[in-house]
A = this chain, B = another copy of it.
Amino acid sequence: MGANEFGSRFKFVSFGESHGPSMGVVIDGCPSGLAYNESLLLKNLARRRPGQSELTTSRIELDSPEILSGIYEGKTLGTPIAIVIKNNNTRPADYDEVKINPRAGHADDVWKNKFGHTDPRGGGRSSGRETVCRVLAGSFAQMLCAQLAPQMKVVGYTSQVGSLCLSEQEEQKAFDENIDSFAARFPSRKSTQAQDHILQAKTDGNSLGGVATVVIKGATANLGQPVFHKLKGDLCAAMMSVGASTAVELGAGISSSQIQGTDFHAQTMSNVYGGIRGGISTGEEINLRIHFKPTSSILDVAKKGRHDPFIVTRAIPVLEAMVWLVLADHLLWMRADRI
């Protein structure tokens, strides 16, 4: 098992330092004959890109993916799919300071301590930049799911901005909303208020924590392996592989610890179990809530006004990508469940 690998059957390796020449992935395990959907890939990359509004960092990343292998005449070959994106918008000079003074709250010092020799520019591999690799691989996972299980849908949205939450009614409608049309991907009539919060934090040199919700509908039943690759375990590991995440909830999640069994089990199954029982998908709706701490880049001398005051909005496409990767992996894995 490599440190930069994810997945078992549909697996990929991620590479690239934030300010090195390129980011990229190699996917090993994608079946042949899958139609390559370029517009899906570009759309997902666009959704991840920072600098889309004044709400996020003004660093502009023009992500132009280059397919190096694995696709021929519009279809996968069953061979490794290598995809590379050049890093264009690097400002190494910004990071001269970092070389001497590791940034507070960042991982600069822990990496230095672990590896001895590190790339001080922009966090290297611990930068948010690395998440572009997840979107590359996740888009192919999504293409695979679209072909093998077209009824599966994954929707992520911001469900909490600082202390501002969606109402219960807004939560129920969120899956069907056009999430990207809301400021901060917060599908609420208070989205403007949320936006103001975030902008104020930016002005103040401050930042906000928050929560992302990811909902899977139409999940194929029987996904997941019963003990160490329970669907819930693999999903939670995937969510916690994203930087700044601090907690993950499945289904009733933290609220499940506070009520009595008879009340709990009287509720609708899908709300309670999160669509997974014994580690295996039931076909019901799966709900994940991922908590994020306020970004630490407020403490970062190098970022001078380029910091993200609120990370959740940008994390949404990355979380969705990670969910697709887990689903694709288990779709292939279950092919060997029975004789």
Contact = CB atoms under 8 A, between A and B. Distances in A.
A282 interface: yes
A228 B6 contact: yes
Given A77-B17, A229-B1, A208 B261 contact: yes
Given A262-B298, A265-B296, A26 B13 contact: yes
A68 to B, nearest CB: 4
Contact of A247 (B77, B253, B333): B253
Nearest to A322: B228
Contact of A246 (B13, B23, B254): B254
Interface string A42-72: 0000000000000000000000001111101
Contact of A277 (B29, B107, B264, B336): B107
B230 A15 contact: no
A241 interface: yes
Contacts of A106: 277-278
A228 B144 contact: no
Interface string A245-275: 1111111111011111110110000001010
B256 A117 contact: no
A150 interface: no
Interface in A1-26: 1-6, 8-9, 11, 13-17, 20-24, 26
B247 A336 contact: no
Given A241-B228, A334-B114, A250 B259 contact: no
Count of chain copies: 4
A69 B116 CA distance: 17
Interface of A: 1-6, 8-9, 11, 13-17, 20-24, 26, 28-29, 31-34, 66-70, 72-73, 75-82, 84, 104-107, 110-111, 113-119, 124-126, 130, 144, 147-148, 160, 162-163, 201, 204-211, 221-222, 225-230, 232-234, 236-237, 240-241, 243, 245-254, 256-262, 264-265, 272, 274, 277-280, 282, 289, 291-296, 298-299, 309, 332-339
Given A72-B118, A125-B227, 9 more contacts: A3-B228, A6-B228, A13-B28, A14-B228, A162-B259, A209-B256, A243-B278, A257-B293, A261-B309
Q: Which 3 A-B pairs have the closest CB atoms?
A: A107-B278, A207-B261, A261-B294
19 contacts: A2-B28, A4-B26, A5-B228, A16-B82, A17-B70, A32-B116, A33-B115, A33-B117, A73-B117, A75-B117, A107-B278, A144-B339, A162-B258, A208-B260, A209-B256, A247-B256, A256-B292, A257-B292, A272-B293
